[in-house]
Amino acid sequence: MAKILVTGGAGFIGSHTAKLLNRAGHRCVVYDNLSRGHLEFVKWGPFRQGDVRDGGALCRLLDMEKIEAVIHFAALAYVGESVIAPGVYYDVNVGGTCALLQALADHGLDKVVFSSTCAVYGELSDKSIGELTKPEPINPYGITKLACERMLSDFERAYGMRHVCLRYFNAAGADPDGEVGEDHMPETHLIPLVLDAAMGRRHAVSIFGDDYKTADGTAVRDYIHVCDLAAAHVRALDYLLAGGPSRTLNLGSGRGASVAEVIDEARRVTGRPISVVQAPRRPGDPARLVADPGAAGEVLSWSCRRSDLGTILRDAWRWHEQRFSGRVV
């Protein structure tokens, strides 16, 4: 079985992927600078602390370890932060990916699974989003991820480096065994904030906009369980190891849930009251983002197992209570 370098493997999706890689019989080396990740999430392979922009450190690691392929998560991933501080997003996301790909090319490595995002698509209409939809990102986060996708194509032309770009919709949930889960600082995502309100760590959850053109007026997103995302990464890796050509694939459940539906379901799952306050729309938020995940299903022989809203919230709640009880926001 292969030895895999997992950059950003101490983060939310990276740590869940490391667990499933291990279960599938692969070995992984986690490379993370711990700026956003958690050391205690590194449980399934050796850890090397380092920055993805540090080409020298990456080359030393690749000299020492016999790596066969890379799953590249290490990046900054907040839309709002990218608008306020674009420079750091270009530096870490684009500069970091460039340093990594050059180190891989210099070591003759040619297989990369890349963590991309539905933010590359930009403002969209009512339909489900397929991969043929023209990317037109509207914030620096989406622009930097699209730049990395294009960089991967350039490295393929120059060095024959094959890649699978996985464009995630809304990652949520947690490992059902409770070994890892979501812990962002600061937290801006809907589901952990709703669970904070259910736990009493926050007074209420804000609903950003109730006048969208959707059934109940609140914004609709495609929530996908982090374990389903992690499973897709393992499939994408095996696909590249088996010689598959480069692909770009959407990862979502294919179903939309509105902010109001998420809150209602969280009340049901937790059995707790959850107070809400109406707030203005968040700048840059489209009304509806729902994936057409058909291509990923076909190419990777993959489908979602835990991405119904009830299971996502049950798994997230179990983790959230265990991790955050007694901790103030």
Residues lying near ligand UDP in the complex (CB under 6 A) are found at: 79, 170, 188-190, 193, 205-208, 219, 221, 259, 282, 285
| Backbone angles phi and psi of 156, in degrees to 5 | -65, -45
Could you tell me the smallest distance in angstroms from the CB atom of residue 121 to ligand UDP? 12
Nearer to ligand UDP (CB atom), residue 242 or residue 328: 328
Nearer to ligand UDP (CB atom), residue 175 or residue 210: 210
Nearer to ligand UDP (CB atom), residue 164 or residue 171: 171
Could you tell me the smallest distance in angstroms from the CB atom of residue 158 to ligand UDP? 33
Give the integer Cα–Cα distance in Å for 253 and 247: 19
Question: Is 12 in a helix, a strand, or coil?
Answer: helix
Pairing of the two strands 205-208 and 111-117? unpaired
Query: Which residue bears the tokens 């016999």?
Result: 66
Class of residue 176 by CB neighbours under 10 A (exposed 0-12, middle 13-18, buried 19+): middle
Nearer to ligand UDP (CB atom), residue 17 or residue 82: 82
Look up residue 42 and give its DSSP letter. -
Nearer to ligand UDP (CB atom), residue 44 or residue 121: 121
Could you tell me the smallest distance in angstroms from the CB atom of residue 316 to ligand UDP? 12
Looking at the chain, which runs of residues are DSSP E strands? Answer: 3-7, 27-32, 47-49, 69-72, 111-117, 162-168, 170-172, 205-208, 220-221, 223-225, 247-251, 257-258, 276-279, 288-289
Encoded tokens for 279: 């707030």
Closest CA to 97 of 118, 119, 117, 116: 116
Could you tell me the smallest distance in angstroms from the CB atom of residue 227 to ligand UDP? 18
Could you tell me the smallest distance in angstroms from the CB atom of residue 205 to ligand UDP? 6
* Active-site residue list: 141
Encoded tokens for 55: 């080409």
